[in-house]
Amino acid sequence: MAKIIVVTSGKGGVGKTTTSAAFSMGLAMRGYKTVVIDFDIGLRNLDIVMDCERRVVYDFVNVIQGDANLRQALIKDKRCENLFILAASQTKEKEALTLEGVGAVLNELSQDFDFIICDSPAGIEQGAFTAMYYADEAIIVTNPEVSSVRDSDRMLGILQSKSQRAQEGLDSVKENLLITRYDPDRVAKGEMMSIEDVEDILGVKNIGVIPESESVLKASNQGHPVIMDKNSDAGMAYDDMIARFLGETRPLRFIERKGLLKRIFS
Amino acid sequence: MKKLFNFFKNEQEKNPANVAKERLKVIVAHERRQRNQPDYLQDLQRDLMLVIQKYVEIEADNVQVQLDSEGNYSVLELNVTLPN
Ligand SMILES: Nc1ncnc2c1ncn2[C@@H]1O[C@H](COP(=O)(O)OP(=O)(O)O)[C@@H](O)[C@H]1O
Ligand SMILES: [Mg+2]
């Protein structure tokens, strides 16, 4: 039985797709059979970040509607044999993601995979709702910024009341806070909220902090999840996050302000 | 010395990160209270506010309505803060 993890936030542009790509690639590189699903119907992006946009023949909605089976729709990653991608549909109506349909697909995937990563769209509509509904765990992607934190809190409320686990009175969805686009210099200057500030308000501990980094743009330009850039700060921070997710203890890195000399010479 | 201390303290309190944190605390607390409350409460709150505004000048956040269930009955709690 696979573990289902939703990568969600409420707000758009905070790093969900970047995280879904890095997280799923990182798990697969460690040997876990992993599938990552794009729930952003109409605005698919994951295929670009994963460099498989030209290989999409059938998508998630095709499978739900019975036009294709999973074997036809799953795209095998060219770099890691344990990783598969299920692309979002570019044209179909958002209502195509029915709870029953999504449930059936996740159930079938559960037989073969260790992890199912659901890349949620922004908002709290159908796509985001179905992405979180079946989750066992959630990665709440949050930028240290007012509107992002507020939306994350909203999303936490939805997970706690509307998810299948909540509705059926099971153990609640495990919440993991991932702070992304963190800029230690701006935190030091008092311009940006700190890790503790965000944890305090949300009442959730972080599972990782991803620094604001040029390597993310570079990675997405090339279609490589940033975790493949093993020398980049963001790539290493994602690797730490995955290690913690799997139960390891690792200290936070890249959260200190750059040293004075580094600041002068960078 | 105290003056210097206060100077730093005020600077710290007013920096953008602290302003963000304080605003968020209020927003989040408010929204958490509204969760799991029936949808009509917001309409009720607005109608109550409009009635009270006929007599006293108050703002939206001066009227708080909350429904608490205790056993087999519910209590509707109405909190109105009036200006002096
Ligand atoms: N740690 C980071 N550092 C710099 N840029 C980032 C970082 N994380 C995400 N971004 C950028 O932010 C934008 C939105 O990211 P994306 O993952 O698509 O967000 P979402 O899926 O939440 O809408 C992209 O341009 C991405 O390259
Ligand atoms: Mg996205």
Rounded to the nearest 10 degrees, the angle between the axes of helix A126-133 and helix A99-112 is 40
Record the pTM: 0.87
Q: In what order do the strands lie in the sheet with A137-142?
A: A75-76, A83-86, A34-38, A115-119, A3-8, A137-142, A174-182, A206-211
**How does residue B62 score in pLDDT terms, banded at 50, 70 and 90?**
confident
Is the pLDDT reported for residue B4 higher than 60?
no
d(CA B3, CA B5): 5
pLDDT of residue B42: 81
d(CA A111, CA A114): 9
pLDDT tens for A223-238 read: 999 999 999 999 999 9
Ligand nearest to the CA of A44: 2
CB-based contacts of B83, cutoff 8 Å, min separation 6: B56, B57, B58, B62
pLDDT tens for A155-211 read: 999 999 999 999 999 999 999 999 999 999 999 999 999 999 999 999 999 999 999
pLDDT of residue A122: 96
CB-based contacts of A198, cutoff 8 Å, min separation 6: A142, A144, A149, A177, A179, A206
pLDDT tens for A118-145 read: 999 999 999 999 999 999 999 999 999 9
Partner residue opposite B32 with nearest CB, options A145, A157, A189: A157
Mutation site for B-interface testing, chosen from A149, A151, A202 by largest number of B Cβ within 10 Å = A149
Can you give the C-alpha Rg of chain A in angstroms? 18
Distance A223 CA to ligand 1 centre (A): 13
Asked if B17 and A146 come within 8 Å (Cβ–Cβ), the reply is no
Is the pLDDT reported for residue B10 higher than 60?
no
Asked if B28 and A146 come within 8 Å (Cβ–Cβ), the reply is no
Phi and psi at residue A5, in whole multiples of 5°?
-125, 125
Q: Which CATH superfamily is B21-82 part of?
A: Cell division topological specificity factor MinE (3.30.1070.10)
pLDDT of residue B46: 85
**Residue A152: left if φ>0, alpha if ψ -120 to 50, beta else—which one?**
alpha
Range with the poorest average pLDDT among A17-21, A177-181, B53-57: B53-57
Phi and psi at residue A7, in whole multiples of 5°?
-105, 110
d(CA A192, CA A143): 10
Look at residues B32, B36, B64 and name the one whose alpha carbon lies nearest to residue A149: B32
Angle (CA) A255-A261-A265 rounded to 5° is 100
pLDDT of residue A90: 82
B54 min Cα distance to partner chain A (Å) = 33
Range with the poorest average pLDDT among A28-37, A88-97, A248-257, B53-62: A88-97
Which residue of chain A comes nearest to B35, CA vs CA? A157
pLDDT tens for B18-38 read: 989 998 998 898 888 877 788
Asked if A150 and B25 come within 8 Å (Cβ–Cβ), the reply is no
Residues of chain B neighbouring A187 (CB-CB closer than 8 A):
17
**DSSP for A241-255, written as a single string:** HHHHHTT------S-
Higher pLDDT, B1 or A144: A144
Q: Is A164 helix (H, G, I), strand (E, B) or coil?
A: helix
